[in-house]
Structure formats: C-alpha cells, structure tokens
Amino acid sequence: MKIAPSFLEGLYDVYAGRHQPENLRRLTDLYWRALLVLAFVAVVAVFTYGILTLNRVLVALGGAYSTAPTPAPALDRSTLNTTIAAFDARNARFEALKGRAPDLPSDPSK
C-alpha cells in the first residue's frame, strides 16, 4: 500500500525539477488530466442538476386528478350578446359624431 506515498513523492520530485523538460512534460500532462477530470465532473454535475430540476417540475405538474364538476363558464351567451350590442351602439354614436363638426367654444377675446 505504498502507492499513494510513492506517487506523492514522485510528484514532489517532478515539481522540484520542473525546469527540466522531462519533468515539465509530466507536469503539463498531470495538469491536462486534472483539467479533463474537472470538466467531466462539471458536465456530470450540470446534467445531474438539470435532471433533478426537470424531475421536480414534472412531479409538481402532475398534481392529483380532480373529479370535481367543471365550473360554470364565466361568460354566458346572453351576457355576450348584450356586450356586443353595447359595442355596436357605441360604434354607431362614434360614426354619427364623426360626421358632425365639433362644437368649439366661442373665443372670449372677441
């Protein structure tokens, strides 16, 4: 079980001789592998977070099935016809007033 201490010893030796090309190559290889592992962990974390969030939303959307009767419509046909008739009357008044000249107040300076 001397793998970890020998690895750390070798890592210390490589770092101590980092100015030599063969040790620099080992350091850059270690750095590159550490970046790859870090990127892989980040991607796995993002996917896990996304899946958990999606699952939470889907569970929240799938609420209990309700057997309550359908509520009455907010607007019935007679109310709708009354409202349309009021809009038609308003439009007719507008068209009638549009053809007539406006009543301008008299000029007080005259």
pLDDT (tens digit, 0 to 9) for every residue of the chain, 110 residues total? 455 555 566 777 777 777 777 777 777 888 888 899 999 999 999 999 999 998 888 888 876 666 778 877 777 889 899 999 999 999 999 988 887 777 777 777 76
The dihedral over CA atoms of 40, 29, 13, 41, expressed in degrees to the nearest 10, equals 0
Give the span between the Cα atoms of 43 and 50, in whole angstroms.
Answer: 11
User: Quick one: pLDDT at residue 66?
Assistant: 66
Q: Which H or E run includes 61?
A: helix 21-61
Is-contact 18 27, C-beta < 8 A?
yes
User: Quick one: pLDDT at residue 48?
Assistant: 97
What single letter denotes the amino acid at residue 62?
G
